[in-house]
């Protein structure tokens, strides 16, 4: 599938992220980094060399993409820290809108994962922070 077809799926299906590897396509529907983290933990081959089209890419999502060794990323909205992390990893990035940082869903402040990862220099440093955050959210919702 062509990149523009993958981006079209992102824009017209209501999903949050499309992961394309060869002829295989995975649609993600949850907000934030939960789907990416679960795929990285349990099915890392899905990310390895994949093209990802995502609605919103903050530094946390970028870290997971770097760790998953994705080939290329397109983001509707991407933060400057995320763009820098992906570029430093040598991952080509296309985007519609570049913002200084990702804002939380209520619009009242920074995205919690973006804030957690702000002081991290590498994707490896971000991972345990993201894991702890997501695991807390999942356990609180059960």
Q: Which tens digit of pLDDT belongs to each residue from 15-48?
A: 999 999 988 999 999 888 999 999 999 999 999 9
Q: What is the pLDDT of residue 133?
A: 94
What is the chain's mean pLDDT, rounded? 95
Query: Is residue 138 pLDDT above 90, yes or no?
Result: no
Query: How many C-beta atoms lie closer than 10 Å to residue 138's C-beta?
Result: 12
- Reduced to 3 states, what is the DSSP secondary structure of residue 111? coil
Q: Report the percentage of the chain scoring pLDDT > 90.
A: 86
Q: Name the nearest CA neighbour of 40 among 30, 49, 31, 48.
A: 48
Can you tell me the mean pLDDT for 60-86? 98
Query: Is residue 94 pLDDT above 90, yes or no?
Result: yes
CA distances from 35 to 13, 90, 99, 107, 137 (A): 16, 23, 23, 22, 13
DSSP state, 134?
A: H
State both tokens at 20.
Answer: 């394309």
Q: What is the pLDDT of residue 105?
A: 84
Q: Are 50 and 28 in contact (CB under 8 A)?
A: no
End-to-end CA distance of the chain: give it in Å, rounded: 38
134: number of CA atoms within 13 Å, CB side?
20
- Reduced to 3 states, what is the DSSP secondary structure of residue 89? coil
Q: Are 133 and 111 in contact (CB under 8 A)?
A: no
């Amino acid at each position: 599938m062509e990149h523009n077809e993958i981006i079209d799926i992102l824009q017209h299906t209501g999903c949050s992220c499309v992961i394309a590897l060869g002829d295989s396509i995975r649609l993600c529907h949850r907000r934030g980094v939960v789907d990416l983290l679960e795929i990285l933990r349990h099915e890392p081959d899905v990310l390895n060399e994949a093209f990802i089209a995502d609605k919103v890419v903050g530094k946390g999502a970028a870290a997971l993409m770097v760790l998953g060794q994705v080939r290329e990323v397109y983001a509707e909205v991407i933060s400057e820290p995320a763009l820098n992390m992906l570029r430093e990893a040598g991952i080509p990035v296309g985007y519609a809108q570049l913002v200084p940082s990702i804002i939380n869903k209520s619009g009242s402040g920074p995205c919690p994962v973006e804030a957690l990862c702000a002081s991290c220099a590498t994707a490896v440093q971000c991972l345990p922070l993201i894991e702890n955050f997501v695991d807390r959210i999942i356990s609180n919702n059960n």
